[in-house]
């Protein structure tokens, strides 16, 4: 069975005290959640203390929200994948639409980041998704296919197997508008079949594909009914302990 994953993307939110309190409450509330992996994607400076905290719960892991496309050197303000690996960070979100739109990340830059992460044993959570105008013009499948081709399809079978994919329609991120169950499942199925054509059916069947974009306790359960929807990448609702725990519970009921 594919791994079921609920990831919280805290983005640039929370103070140190707030972040630790949120993590402690989540760890406390979600003790027996075998078969669901909970990933907390925190700002860089909270990663190390968070890693110490989650040792008590094998179902929790930590993600960075970005890493450099360079190996090391004179790149002021950047964080290398090797640094993440050196403190035990397991995952890194790459290609988030906020990075693409606000910081000019291109598919080829994201491909280099994916390489740096995998070279260091950090598993990418690769985000893809179309803009509203692209969906309205009916080119959403092409857009997502191109993102996969240009940032992931240079990988070997063993490497792509180490990636998690998150489908995040840009129009659904932070807007309160969620993709319908049909829209999400249809795109997840498309992503899986695109991976299957490039690699193999067995590889495609192993890769967890998460949905992201205004996931809340109110819509999570329906989304998780999708055969190809293996979890969620949650932004806003991941900052609220009860909402995030309820999303984890919604997944637990499907297993």
Catalytic site positions: 96, 168
Report if residue 233 touches ligand PGA, rule: CB under 6 A.
yes
Q: CB 9 → ligand PGA: shortest distance, Å?
A: 4
Q: CB 165 → ligand PGA: shortest distance, Å?
A: 13
**Which one of 64, 234, 250, 251 is in contact with ligand PGA (CB under 6 A)?**
234
Q: How far apart are the first and last CA of the chain?
A: 10
**Which one of 152, 235, 244, 247 is in contact with ligand PGA (CB under 6 A)?**
235
DSSP string, 5-48: EEEEE--S---HHHHHHHHHHHHHH-S--TTEEEEEE--GGGHH
Q: CB 10 → ligand PGA: shortest distance, Å?
A: 10
Q: CB 66 → ligand PGA: shortest distance, Å?
A: 13
Are β-strands 36-41 and 4-9 bridged in parallel, bridged antiparallel, or unpaired? parallel
Phi, psi of 4 (to 5 degrees): -95, 130
The number of beta carbons lying within 10 Å of the beta carbon of residue 112 is 16
Report if residue 169 touches ligand PGA, rule: CB under 6 A.
no
**Which one of 90, 168, 230, 243 is in contact with ligand PGA (CB under 6 A)?**
168
Q: CB 157 → ligand PGA: shortest distance, Å?
A: 27
Q: Which stretch binds ligand PGA (CB under 6 A): 62-70, 109-117, 149-157, 206-214?
A: 206-214
Token pair listed for 252: 């637990």
At which residue do the structure tokens 């249809």 appear?
A: 186
Report if residue 214 touches ligand PGA, rule: CB under 6 A.
yes
Sites for ligand PGA among residues 90-109 (CB under 6 A): none
Q: Which stretch binds ligand PGA (CB under 6 A): 27-35, 191-199, 208-216, 247-255?
A: 208-216
Task: In whole angstroms, give the CA distance from residue 128 to residue 144.
Answer: 6
Token pair listed for 30: 């979600």
Task: In whole angstroms, give the CA distance from residue 102 to residue 107.
Answer: 14
Residue with smallest beta-carbon separation from ligand PGA: 235
Report if residue 209 touches ligand PGA, rule: CB under 6 A.
no
Task: Tell how far CA 142 is from the center of its chain.
Answer: 21
At which residue do the structure tokens 């079978």 appear?
A: 157
Token pair listed for 72: 């090391």
Judged by beta carbon, residue 226 or residue 236, the one nearer ligand PGA is: 236
What single-letter DSSP state applies at residue 237?
A: G
**Which one of 213, 219, 223, 226 is in contact with ligand PGA (CB under 6 A)?**
213
Judged by the rule CB under 6 A, the positions of this chain that interact with ligand PGA are 9, 168, 173-174, 212-215, 233-237
């Amino acid at each position: 069975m594919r791994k079921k994953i609920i990831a919280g993307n805290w983005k640039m939110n929370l103070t140190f005290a707030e972040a630790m309190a949120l993590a402690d409450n989540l760890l406390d509330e979600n003790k027996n959640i075998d078969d669901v992996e909970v990933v907390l994607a925190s700002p860089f400076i909270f990663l190390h203390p968070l890693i110490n905290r989650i040792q008590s719960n094998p179902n929790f892991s930590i993600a960075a929200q970005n890493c450099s496309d360079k190996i090391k050197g004179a790149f002021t303000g950047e964080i290398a994948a090797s640094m993440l690996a050196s403190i035990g960070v397991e995952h890194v979100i790459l290609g988030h639409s906020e990075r693409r739109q606000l910081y000019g990340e291109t598919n080829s830059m994201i491909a280099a980041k994916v390489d740096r992460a995998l070279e260091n044993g950090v598993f990418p959570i690769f985000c893809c998704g179309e803009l509203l105008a692209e969906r309205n013009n009916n080119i959403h499948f092409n857009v997502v296919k191109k993102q996969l081709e240009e940032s992931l399809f240079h990988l070997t079978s063993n490497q792509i197997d180490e990636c998690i994919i998150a489908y995040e329609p840009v129009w659904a991120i932070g807007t309160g508008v969620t993709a319908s169950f049909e829209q999400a499942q249809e795109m997840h199925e498309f992503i899986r079949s695109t991976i299957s054509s490039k690699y193999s059916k067995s590889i495609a069947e192993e890769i967890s594909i998460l949905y992201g974009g205004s996931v809340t306790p109110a819509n999570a359960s329906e989304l998780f009914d999708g055969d190809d929807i293996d979890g969620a990448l949650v932004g806003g609702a991941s900052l609220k302990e009860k909402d995030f725990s309820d999303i984890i519970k919604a997944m637990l009921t499907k297993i």
